[in-house]
Amino acid sequence: MDRELKYRRLDQASPEELSSLRKKVRLSEWRQKFHVQPVMGLMNDPNGFSYYNGEYHLFYQWFPLGTFHGLKYWYHTSSKDLVFWQNQGIAIEPGHPHDAYGAYSGSGIVKDGKLCLMYTGNARDEEWNRQSYQCMAVMDRDGSITKLDKPLIDHVPDGYTEHFRDPKVWQDKDKYRFVIGAQRVDQTGAAVVYESSDLLVWEFKGEIQTRLQHFGYMWECPDYFELEGQGVLLFSPQGLLPVDDHFRNIYQSGYISGKPLNRDTLEFDHGPFCELDRGFDFYAPQTMLDEKDRRIMVGWMGLPDIGYPTDSHGWAHCLTLPRMLTFREGRLIQQPVPELRALRDHAAEAADTLHSEVKSYEGVQGTAFEMICEFQAIEADVVGIEFRAGEGERTVLRYESGQRKVTLDRSSSGAAIVSDYGAERSCMLPTERNSIKFHLFVDISSVELFINDGEEVFTSRIFPKWNSRNIRFFVQNGSAGLKVEKWDLTEAVKDKEGAE
Ligand code: FRU
């Protein structure tokens, strides 16, 4: 793509262009109701997720003037409760020599009453070679944000390419540390640690010593934290090949966990890499520790380098709902934060036993809803749900009890999304039981599915027609009990007029 088009600044757009973009977005049938989404243009990674000054602050990567990955800004939203979000406008604007080609991903930490935002400045030299700088901007209590004039780190250490980005900062008593995504000169991915006592002067410490020495060509958006006594490294590796039901998307995101990271040697004794999500659209998640001491994660409900049906509507992508992380039997469990119950509106329920049949229930349908559905005493080959169903359209969730296999099928979900990566995603559940619980959050163009209270999660965009609102429950070859609770969900994000 034409470089000038790609790196256009928001202030280079005419009022006519902006109003025609806004109009396109307004007319889009796939605007979400309760997910954070861009007022226009393209959003990607969540950034700077923090609790500061009595509020949650969530920033994200944003290119305002198109639905491609152009010049990246940080956009700011805030919330008192992780449910209702207020758009606050641009937080970090690219423009200094060291971030002229984008204010890339990063994180936030509170120090001396200010929210310090660390990010990667993306620059280019005369030969158009990429250059990465680690930078800082500081937010005051009144919400004003000032970038520091100079980068904190102005070079990439020996042994790494300029694919060196996405600092995630944390505090260990007297020291600050950040982990950053890196590519070694031999084109393999790694996570690197820096240390500081004041957030301003940083010392390169080295790589986190993992067992994954040849695991993709780049690790994006790493995040290190400790939870229930375990060390956890989340990251988004690029370049993994599919293995059975795993690694089916263009890029993946997952974690390794084990004994806490040794801060001196950077040794990390960990188990296998586990995918965080088994659906189609989940990437670059970021966590924060909130004022209730909970580890909360938000991800980008999208992936780089593939097109989506809203691209022609002037906007692309959204963030996931905030999820609380805990451990169960050595695996990370994700659950929607309980605050989300505040979105619940009109309720409907059903209880039944199904025998090799398909059934619907009065009031149990919709386009933006939460549903908890439990199949019990399963004596059938397959149980499942069809939702956002209408003429010729449906999204199908299937559980094959013999194989303990859950499948999400979006082949008939509506407008097509790149087919190169298939239209089904499956996973095997870790534990044997004769019941299954599906907790679904369905928005106008997405589904988030939490299975058995978060032991597996599927996150996906779907693009059905506005009137595809039926929900059907099915049991094949046998019988199963069924319990359903469903709530319509209300609007949760304010597109403050002029907030770009
Ligand atoms: C991940 C990513 C990051 C980078 C940002 C740029 O999606 O590529 O590594 O900082 O997006 O928008």
485 found inside a domain: yes
- Asked if pLDDT for residue 73 goes beyond 80, the answer is yes
Counting ligand 1 atoms within 8 A of each CB, the residue from 74, 101, 104 with the most, and so the one to mutate, is: 104
CA–CA separation, 155 vs 404, rounded Å?
50
Q: How high is the pLDDT of residue 496?
A: 56
In this prediction, residue 413 has a pLDDT band, given cuts at 50, 70 and 90, of very high
Domain range for 351 is 345-490
The answer on 43 and 7 residing in a single domain is yes
366 found inside a domain: yes
Q: Which two tokens stand for residue 463?
A: 């693009």
Number of domains in the chain: 2
- Our answer on whether the CB atom of 484 is closer than 6 Å to any ligand 1 atom is no
- Asked if pLDDT for residue 499 goes beyond 80, the answer is no
- Our answer on whether the CB atom of 166 is closer than 6 Å to any ligand 1 atom is yes
CATH number of the domain where residue 94 is located:
2.115.10.20
- Our answer on whether the CB atom of 44 is closer than 6 Å to any ligand 1 atom is yes
In this prediction, residue 500 has a pLDDT band, given cuts at 50, 70 and 90, of low
Tell me if residue 186 is catalytic: no
Instruction: Find how far residue 237's CA is from the centre of its chain.
Output: 14
Please pick, among 45, 99, 281, 488, the residue that the annotation labels catalytic.
45
100 found inside a domain: yes
Q: How high is the pLDDT of residue 218?
A: 98
Q: Whose CA is nearest to atom 6 of ligand 1?
A: 104
Q: Whose CA is nearest to atom 8 of ligand 1?
A: 220
- Our answer on whether the CB atom of 43 is closer than 6 Å to any ligand 1 atom is no
The answer on 354 and 303 residing in a single domain is no
- Asked if pLDDT for residue 23 goes beyond 60, the answer is yes
The answer on 315 and 168 residing in a single domain is yes
The answer on 367 and 418 residing in a single domain is yes
Q: How high is the pLDDT of residue 1?
A: 80
Average pLDDT (163-178) is: 97
In this prediction, residue 210 has a pLDDT band, given cuts at 50, 70 and 90, of very high
28 found inside a domain: no
Does the global pTM surpass 0.95? yes
Q: How high is the pLDDT of residue 353?
A: 98
- Our answer on whether the CB atom of 104 is closer than 6 Å to any ligand 1 atom is yes
The answer on 364 and 462 residing in a single domain is yes
- Of 336, 354, 389, which residue is a domain's last? 336
496 found inside a domain: no
- Asked if pLDDT for residue 315 goes beyond 80, the answer is yes
Counting ligand 1 atoms within 8 A of each CB, the residue from 6, 42, 44, 234 with the most, and so the one to mutate, is: 44
pLDDT, tens only, 438-449: 999 999 999 999
Q: How high is the pLDDT of residue 70?
A: 97
Main-chain dihedrals φ then ψ at residue 217, nearest 5 degrees? -95, -10
Average pLDDT over all residues of the chain: 96
Q: How high is the pLDDT of residue 381?
A: 97
**Sign of the torsion formed by the C-alpha atoms of 210, 211, 214 and 216:** negative
CATH number of the domain where residue 393 is located:
2.60.120.560
Instruction: Find how far residue 422's CA is from the centre of its chain.
Output: 20
495 found inside a domain: no
Return the DSSP state at 419: S
Q: What percent of the chain has pLDDT over 70?
A: 99
The answer on 189 and 313 residing in a single domain is yes
| Least confident range of 59-68, 376-385, 412-421, 458-467 | 412-421
The answer on 356 and 327 residing in a single domain is no
The answer on 375 and 259 residing in a single domain is no
171 found inside a domain: yes
Closest ligand 1 atom, residue 106 Cα: 10
pLDDT, tens only, 332-387: 999 999 999 999 999 999 999 999 999 999 999 999 999 999 999 999 999 999 99
- Of 290, 306, 336, which residue is a domain's last? 336
The answer on 437 and 393 residing in a single domain is yes
The answer on 301 and 411 residing in a single domain is no
Closest CA to 225 of 260, 187, 270: 260
Give the Å distance between the CA of 302 and the centre of ligand 1: 12
Q: How high is the pLDDT of residue 51?
A: 98
Q: What is the largest CA-CA distance in the chain?
A: 69
Counting ligand 1 atoms within 8 A of each CB, the residue from 107, 166, 219 with the most, and so the one to mutate, is: 166
- Of 303, 336, 369, which residue is a domain's last? 336
- Asked if pLDDT for residue 55 goes beyond 80, the answer is yes
Average pLDDT (145-168) is: 98
The answer on 218 and 139 residing in a single domain is yes
- Asked if pLDDT for residue 497 goes beyond 90, the answer is no
The answer on 363 and 293 residing in a single domain is no
- Asked if pLDDT for residue 493 goes beyond 90, the answer is no
27 found inside a domain: no
Give me the residue label for tokens 């970038």: 147
